[in-house]
Amino acid sequence: MKLKVYNLTGKSIGTMEVSDVVFNVAIKPEIVHTVFVQQTNNQREPWADTKTKGEVSGGGKKPWAQKGTGRARHGSIRSPIWKGGGVTFGPLSTRNYKTKINKKIRRSAIKMCLTDKAQNETLLVIEDFNFTDQKTKVFAAFLKELPIKTKTVLVLTAGKDIKVIRMTKNLPKVETMRAEDINVMELLKNSAVVASKDAVKKIEEVFSK
């Protein structure tokens, strides 16, 4: 499969041959969905927490006598049937939402997302990110020159590129990360992917195995 290569002025300067093993695989939405759900579950924190009748305060004294009052018998105001009492089977902060998934399936889902980007021409390969002036406005102008009409962009670099990170950190809806760290959530969240040639080679190196 071939992808167009662009320079820093947004002009196409040729093509790049990429591996079909990574960028041209059969897409199965159910697998992508499974991996996405797994990622969101692993990021979920159990904030809700309730107290059982043994944890709420008060209730040391019997509300009223067992007999003779004409009312139902009660042993403690901490009972779940009382207002302000304990909660039966309520949510606890100890709950663990984390789920596990096979590494092979996770990698397959990433390849499917990359294939979808490549087929829809929302995966743009850049010759390099060697800007002469390392300013945010320069990178913003560069993105406007590219043939993409999406608002959210994922910038991929080969390894940690401090210069690109500084140029993009204040740009809204633009994220920068290492090519080897890509995941399904980031690929789905961002409509377009802008990657350097070295980043594409790194992706092939990591995900062709």
Q: Of the candidates 96, 128, 161, which is a domain's last residue?
A: 96
| Residue 84 DSSP label | T
0.95 exceeded by the pTM?
no
Residues 12 and 58 in one domain: no
Q: Please identify, among 60, 79, 96, the residue that sits at the C-terminal boundary of a domain.
A: 96
| Residue 148 banded pLDDT, cuts 50, 70, 90 | confident
Same domain, 151 and 74: no
- Return the beta strands (E) in 75-150 as ranges: 123-126
Give yes or no for a contact between 206 and 199, defined as CB atoms under 8 angstroms apart. Answer: no
Q: Are strands 2-6 and 174-178 parallel, antiparallel or unpaired?
A: unpaired
Whether residue 37 sits in one domain with residue 58 = no
Query: Can you give the residue range of the structural domain that contains 74?
Result: 46-96
Nearest to 188 by CA among 78, 7, 33, 71: 33
Residue 115 pLDDT class (50, 70, 90 cuts): very high
The token pair at 31 is 């697998």
Whether residues 64 and 126 share a domain: the answer is: no
Same domain, 109 and 126: yes
Which residues contact residue 183 at a Cβ distance below 8 angstroms, ignoring those fewer than 6 apart?
A: 39, 110
Integer angstrom CA distances of residue 185 from 7, 10, 38 = 28, 27, 10
Same domain, 37 and 52: no
* pLDDT at res. 158: 93
**Inter-residue contact 134 to 163 (CB < 8 Å):** yes
Under 8 Å CB-to-CB from 94, ≥6 apart: which residues? 46
Q: Are residues 103 and 81 in the same domain?
A: no
Mark whether 119 and 191 lie in a shared domain.
yes
> pLDDT at position 161, please?
92
Residue 82 scores a pLDDT above 90: yes
Structural domain total, the chain: 2
Same domain? 114 vs 75: no
Residue written as token pair 């499974």: 34
Residues 104 and 160 in one domain: yes
- Whether the per-residue pLDDT at 209 is higher than 80: the answer is no
Q: Which two tokens stand for residue 60?
A: 């040391």
- Does 117 have pLDDT greater than 80? yes
Give the pLDDT confidence score for residue 178 in this predicted structure.
96
Dihedral, 168, 172, 175, 176 alpha carbons, nearest 10: 0
* Of residues 168, 125, 167, the one with CA closest to residue 148: 125
Provide mean pLDDT across the span 77-99. 92
Of 54, 71, 96, which one is at a domain's C-terminal end? 96
* Position 60 confidence tier, pLDDT thresholds 50, 70, 90: confident
Asked if 123 and 91 sit in the same domain, the reply is no
Same domain, 121 and 139: yes
Task: Taking residues 12-40, report their average pLDDT.
Answer: 95
